[in-house]
Structure 1
Amino acid sequence: MPSSPTVPPSPSSSRDALIAALRAAGCVFAEDEADLILATARTPAEAAAMAERRAAGLPLEHVVGWAEFRGLRITVAPGVFVPRRRTEFLVERALAQAPGARVVVDLCCGSGAVGAALAAGLGPVELHAADIDPAAVRCARANVAAAGGHVHQGDLFEALPARLRGRVDILAANVPYVPSDEIGLLPQEARDHEPLVALDGGTDGLDVLRRVAAGAPRWLAPGGCVLVETSRHQAPAAVAAFERAGLAVRPAVSQELCAHVVIGVRL
């Protein structure tokens, strides 16, 4: 007697299996994550493998290969910092502060999400991005290519072309600002799968921010602005660092996104 043909699983049963696996691994938004995996995977086997990587703790953005940021699909490679939704507030404030900006720098760029979003909001600009991490530089190049952006590898301002001195209208720096002794308190996804250099801001979390504040005036055009993201309790010290650099300072807060941004302007 011939055996019965194997019936392939229905899409609904495949989705249910993915949801069950993700939920068992502790994924709070298992249904949404399953839908994203299914929309990204080319085959059921690939979807199952992606769900397995996610269940093992890999960030969802690394699993599917991209993150949404201000309506853009940003490529995110393994080992690269995943852009956070709260950082959209930094972009929003930069666009409001300098709507006519023509020279833009995304410092500590990671995936290049901030630079890509600024270019999308401003139109044609001269866009430069920089990061010390080679993996981030490779990723950023893919994300700013559509805007004609240039990506440089190096330590903060040392990476930038000298011809940008005194010409930058927007200097966006999503610096690492987690205090060193609080790295272990981060979600496992971040501390195990994102580069330490993109997270660790030193003893009080402000080491890199202070360096950016001190160096920014030499690179900003008159009236140009520098923006950094920080935390609520770090904001007063961040403001003080900007003031010491001779910048006119204004903090901004988004309660909705739990985001704190310090804005400095070269007078």
Structure 2
Amino acid sequence: MPPLSSPSSSSASHDSSRGSASRDSVVTALRASGCVFAEDEAELILAAARTPDELAALVDRRVAGQPLELVLGWAEFRGLRIVVEPGVFVPRRRTEFLVEQALAHVPDASVVVDLCCGSGAVGAALAAAFGRIELHAADLDPAAVRCARRNVAAVGGHVHEGDLFEALPGELHGRVDVLAANVPYVPSGEVGLLPAEARDHEPLVALDGGTDGLDVLRRVAAEAPRWLAPGGCLLVETSERQAPTAVDAFTRSGLETRLAVSEEMYANVVIGARS
């Protein structure tokens, strides 16, 4: 009678059992810390860890409340793996709706600007969709600029450091087809109400939009017409509550304005076109 299992199959079974036990322990730790999608997160963390020590460190960081994307070092955004680093705003899936609106409104864009770029996710996604474009991204935060360079350089873009339009090359005046500005729009008094993942691990400058949350949006809307090409569009994400005031700010700047809403993605994007 042949043996029930060969040494190799027994070893494989042991490794499989050990791997299953490791996965179960990760799931248990994540679930105990309040992770709603503990099983899915465990798979991602296990895939990212190269050694048992690294696995333990990644799990500890997630259990301590770090956003999963910062633990992994990347975020998925419109099918791309976007590098994210500590101290940088994590791109939200709802912002994919802003990208979709840009593609729909200016399908033949050749010059694109990603303002308040953070990790550069919006610019990278637009470049991937448009193909060969002239892409510029800008942010006030040096950490965001360093991170964005890792994502935007891969698609041939340029990243600039500075306050809004001051960061951009003057040669872009009147040439921008798509101006995507994912500005901070949380009212100052509500930042403390944000989930701890955002409040404790993302830069305040990427969250706090002033008293009513629209200070930066108003600045962008006021100056955008000088940078847009004829037919070019400014697109900014905002909340449902703030949308009417944001639309008014766009209209006052002379842009032809409309509001796009995705109930599925909980996204509101104000779109202003230069005639």
Task: State the TM-score, normalizing by the size of structure 2.
Answer: 0.94
What is residue 83 of structure 1 aligned with on the other side?
A: 91
What is residue 164 of structure 1 aligned with on the other side?
A: 172
Equivalence map 1:144-159=2 (5 Å): 144-159=152-167
What is residue 76 of structure 2 aligned with on the other side?
A: 68
1:41 counterpart = 2:49? yes
Once the two structures are superposed, residues 3-51 of structure 1 have per-residue CA deviations (whole angstroms, 9 ceiling, x without a partner) of: xxx9997110000000111111111111111000011111122112101
What is residue 16 of structure 1 aligned with on the other side?
A: 24
Question: CA 1:41–1:247 in 2, change beyond 3 Å: closer, same or farther?
Answer: same
CA distance in 2, matches of 1:170, 1:130: 14
1:244 counterpart = 2:245? no
1:205 to 208, 213, 217: 213
1:196 to 204, 212, 221: 204
1:228 to 236, 248, 251: 236
Structure 1 residue 164 displacement after superposition: 0.3
CA distance in 1, matches of 2:123, 2:203: 20
Once the two structures are superposed, residues 115-141 of structure 1 have per-residue CA deviations (whole angstroms, 9 ceiling, x without a partner) of: 000001100000000000000000000
Cα RMSD over matched residues? 1.2
CA distance in 2, matches of 1:199, 1:237: 18
Structure 2 residue matching 1:117: 3-state secondary structure: helix
Q: How many pairs align?
A: 262
What is residue 266 of structure 1 aligned with on the other side?
A: 274
Once the two structures are superposed, residues 80-104 of structure 1 have per-residue CA deviations (whole angstroms, 9 ceiling, x without a partner) of: 0000000000000000000100000
CA distance in 2, matches of 1:217, 1:111: 25
Over the matched positions of the two proteins, sequence identity in percent amounts to 76
Is 187-196 or 41-50 further displaced after alignment? 41-50
Structure 2 residue matching 1:10: 3-state secondary structure: helix
Unpaired runs of 5+ residues, structure 1, are: 1-5
- Structure with the greater alpha carbon radius of gyration: 2
Amino acid at match of 1:98: V
CA distance in 1, matches of 2:141, 2:15: 48
Amino acid at match of 1:101: A
Unpaired runs of 5+ residues, structure 2, are: 1-13
CA distance in 2, matches of 1:247, 1:195: 31
Amino acid at match of 1:247: L
Task: State the TM-score, normalizing by the size of structure 1.
Answer: 0.97
Once the two structures are superposed, residues 129-175 of structure 1 have per-residue CA deviations (whole angstroms, 9 ceiling, x without a partner) of: 00000000000000011211000000000000000000000000000
Once the two structures are superposed, residues 208-233 of structure 1 have per-residue CA deviations (whole angstroms, 9 ceiling, x without a partner) of: 00000001000000000000000001
